[in-house]
Amino acid sequence: MAKHATPLLDQLESGPWPSFVSDLKQQAAKRAKNAEKIDFQIPADVVDDLLGLLELSFVDGVTHWKHGGIVGVFGYGGGVIGRYCDQPEKFPGVAHFHTMRVSQPAGKFYTAEYLRQLCDLWDLRGSGITNMHGSTGDIIFLGTTTPQLEEVFFELTHKFNQDLGGSGSNLRTPADCIGQARCEYACYDTQNLCHTLTNEYQDELHRPAFPYKFKFKFDGCPNCCVASIARADMSFIGTWKDDIKIDQEAVQAYIGGEIAPNANDHNGRDWGKFDIQKEVIKLCPTACMWMEGGKLKIDTRECNRCMHCINVMPRALRIGDDRGLSILAGAKAPILDGAQMGSLLVPFIPAEEPYDEIKEVIESVWDWWMEEGKNRERLGELIKRQGFQKLLEVTGIEPMPQHVKEPRSNPYIFWKEEEVEGGWTRDITEYRKHHQR
Amino acid sequence: MAFISSGYNPDKPMENRITDIGPRKFDEFYPPVIAKNKGKWLYHEVLKPGVLVHVAESGDEIYTVRCGGARLMSTAHIREICDIAEKYCGGHLRFTTRNNIEFLLDKKDKVEPLIKDLESRKFDGGSFKFPVGGTGASITNIVHTQGWIHCHTPATDASGTVKATMDVLFDEFKQHRMPAKLRVSMACCLNMCGAVHCSDIAILGYHRKPPMLDHEYLDKMCEIPLAIAACPTAAIKPSKMDLPGGAKVNSVAVNDSRCMFCGNCYTMCPAMPLADKEGDGVVLMVGGKVSNRISTPKFSKVVVAFLPNEMPRWPEMTKTIRKIVDVYAASANKYERLGEWAERIGWERFFEKCELPFTHHLIDDFRDPAYYTWRQTTQFKF
Ligand code: SF4
Ligand code: SF4
Ligand code: SF4
Ligand code: SF4
């Protein structure tokens, strides 16, 4: 028997899509039965009360969680988010319901063995409810009490060689695409760069010293599967400089209909016979492709590596061999001053261990932001406030046309004194000798 | 319940303390075929919705079976995923950025038995536990935020709106019949801790009433200068208030007409709550994308300024989303993303075809970028 009636939530159990309500109910029933005789360290009916509280929100149309409280583990300024319910008498099981962010492995690969260990820990010391995963990328442990925070952290670090992720005004847990582990489009090893920088910057991740949050995301190619260009203060997007490799025989196989276009992933509908002119050459944004003597040609210097032709014909076209990545800076969601896309800062940088050149760029950006950024000002907003030119100045990167979509359309140029011949100091008396008042 | 110590000693927190070790290293968890062929994959093919094969230079293959799931997941459910991974995949699995589960297999003959098994598992309430799909020109899983299950600032629920929407779009998760991939995202407040501002379709929780002021507690609960500084529109100023009992307290005043309901003040100050049953609801935004394919990445645009929260299934919201999806699917060209299609036909045509009313709320009036969204040409369609 359920502890609370949930008539509104019950209506979310029907329909084909996996129902979180059914899942919560199965967890509540499992804890009530406790066949494994676990000595639960937080209330056994925590999930019942979570369902009851959520039902109340569905009735009231508003949340019943209080503003976060300051809780955490000793020495870390992030990784734990305090949460208290505003109806603790009715729902004592969720009176304290803190979140712990557990730093996910790059690429989100797991073994069943490891996930089960995490489940054992979270069943004993928490609600057993998780997010796989949170929006930033962490494994989210949803709901435990204050005394359990240090215990969970101790077990994670001692038994599982596993740390917490970031929250607050820190480096947030970096995230990457699957990249070279399984994707033929990957121009660098996203997992290795993500893991290396996550470990290199553990201090920045755990101890808030930034004006606001800061995100790194790693996409192996311009398809941007982890949305780095829209979501990360610094986006690392794989790219290449040389020719797209063409297998002319495979091109013919696509033309002849032997291989389905776009890896066969449009096959739910009859789009007609594959037409290379219409589907590839005419859609190329730079018009740098053509057929000549039965062969596909690409003018590499004109290609902007949009990935379209490669996505359509993955068996005929492959990324080039002179690979690295582009760094873009300043992407963010609307809060506070409107949404921003990342702006291209470094068109090309090699992505090889030990990644020193990349770290230099990161650290020069951080130095500037930590010095000049106002409280709760994201990097993108600082770039807007002080100008992209300033970002180039602090990173020592030479301006180039690649940095802009178009040059400025107003001539309001802030010349610096040292840029103007003779400087700005002039003699008005001398001037008056030749120009009457 | 007896307290079980992990070994942590609260009197000596630094004793044996381990910190800054970061996440587990990714390659501990690679299936052998990935460890062997990493960086040497030749091409991939989508065999059918939810099933991928990747072929390496060595000739090795890896089969991926992708299935959807709620990102809010119990350990009971995760244990079931582990059982399946052990039965079919040597214990190997991964999660995608969009909360899908991927089972990784090294042999083709394991694919069909796994799919049969996955599709046969249902929750007691009747929904699928592991629907297979979400690849290619489909509508894959929705990325979303916490909502009423765990956050203090939402203007709507996340898991509920997502479940209701995915039920309505379920056929598209299972098939490849969209003109291009279509990404739906959900964030329950403007904070967008899951960014939705570049999605083909975005559901966004939105407040419409300015903060209430708990004058009696305001000065005790928050740093007034921080709350004032948090407001992007400078709507908040310090003020002295007379309480009903006669006491005078330091508090703030809000210029309601300058408020755009972002909730930043509440983030800084718990004595300024905004949430309200009638005031809160959802905004729908469309036409964003993050990929650089063909056209450059785009922001999503607001096409429905407000829909009320209709618990538990948000019928008007899901109907509107379904309508946009259907019109797009019927009229866009192959490979054309929703935003590219809307730009090609023109937004005036988009509103007409989707039968959406155009109201003054949809014209940008927030600072400089607003001007660039008005029409500075005689080129328009009747
Ligand atoms: S971003 Fe590119 S390399 Fe990474 S998974 Fe997506 S397509 Fe592959
Ligand atoms: S990658 Fe894009 S720009 Fe380059 S040739 Fe292919 S379609 Fe054209
Ligand atoms: S989007 Fe807003 S309300 Fe929703 S979980 Fe994130 S911060 Fe909380
Ligand atoms: S909700 Fe936003 S705009 Fe309104 S008063 Fe608060 S901070 Fe200012």
Tens digit of each residue's pLDDT (9 = 90 or more) over A162-191: 999 999 899 999 999 999 999 999 999 999
Name which of A9-13, A332-336, A386-390, B313-317 the model is least confident about.
A332-336
| Sign of the dihedral through C-alpha B343, B349, B352, B357 | positive
pLDDT tens, position by position, B41-85: 999 999 999 999 999 999 999 999 999 999 999 999 999 999 999
Q: Is A298 in the pocket of ligand 2 (CB under 6 A)?
A: yes
φ, ψ of residue A295 in degrees (nearest 5): -115, 145
Pairwise CB contact (< 8 Å): A160 & B24: yes
B181 pLDDT more than 90: yes
pLDDT tens, position by position, A256-291: 999 999 999 999 999 999 999 999 999 999 999 999
What residue spans in chain A does CATH classification 3.30.413.10 cover? 175-241+324-403
pLDDT of the residue at B172: 98
Q: Is A288 in the pocket of ligand 2 (CB under 6 A)?
A: yes
d(CA A54, CA B359): 34
B1 pLDDT more than 90: no
- Note the ipTM here: 0.97
- State what percent of residues in chain A have pLDDT above 90: 96
Q: Tokens representing A327?
A: 């760094």
- State what percent of residues in chain B have pLDDT above 90: 93
Name which of B174-178, B268-272, B294-298 the model is least confident about.
B268-272
- The rounded mean pLDDT for chain B is 96
A69 pLDDT more than 80: no
pLDDT of the residue at B45: 97
pLDDT of the residue at B31: 97
Pairwise CB contact (< 8 Å): A17 & B47: no
pLDDT of the residue at B271: 94
What residue spans in chain A does CATH classification 3.30.70.2500 cover? 7-159
Output the CA A140–ligand 1 centroid distance in Å. Answer: 24
Output the CA A186–ligand 1 centroid distance in Å. Answer: 6
pLDDT of the residue at B191: 83
What is the dotted CATH code of the domain comprising A245-318? 3.30.70.20
Pairwise CB contact (< 8 Å): B191 & A20: no
Q: What would the mean pLDDT of B296-323 be, rounded to a whole number?
A: 98
**In the structure, what pLDDT confidence band is assigned to residue B254 with cuts at 50, 70 and 90?**
very high
- Among B189, B196, B266, say which to mutate for ligand 3: greatest number of ligand atoms within 8 Å of CB: B189
**In the structure, what pLDDT confidence band is assigned to residue A236 with cuts at 50, 70 and 90?**
very high
Alpha-helical regions (H) of A40-168: 46-60, 112-125, 146-159
CATH class of A7-159: alpha beta
A316 pLDDT more than 80: yes
pLDDT tens, position by position, B184-227: 999 999 888 877 999 999 999 999 999 999 999 998 888 899 99
- The rounded mean pLDDT for chain A is 97
Strands lying side by side in the sheet with B184-187: B184-187, B201-206, B281-286, B301-308
**In the structure, what pLDDT confidence band is assigned to residue B113 with cuts at 50, 70 and 90?**
very high
The alpha carbon of residue A350 is apart from the nearest alpha carbon of chain B, in Å, by 16
Going by C-beta distance under 8 Å and a sequence separation of 6 or more, which residues neighbour residue A379?
Answer: A214, A233, A234, A329, A330, A332, A365, A369, A373
Q: Is B259 in the pocket of ligand 4 (CB under 6 A)?
A: yes
Pairwise CB contact (< 8 Å): A75 & B13: yes
**In the structure, what pLDDT confidence band is assigned to residue B318 with cuts at 50, 70 and 90?**
very high
Is residue B211 reached through a cis peptide bond, with omega within 30 degrees of 0 on the bond before it? Answer: no
pTM over 0.95: yes
Q: Which fold has domain A175-241+324-403?
A: Sulfite Reductase Hemoprotein; domain 1 (3.30.413)
What residue spans in chain A does CATH classification 3.30.70.20 cover? 245-318
Alpha-helical regions (H) of B29-74: 32-37
Let me know: does B144 contact B199? Beta carbons within 8 Å.
no
- CA A286 to ligand 2: nearest atom: 3
Amino acid, single-letter form, for residue A136: T
* Ligand with the closest atom to the CA of B202: 3
Going by C-beta distance under 8 Å and a sequence separation of 6 or more, which residues neighbour residue B375?
Answer: none
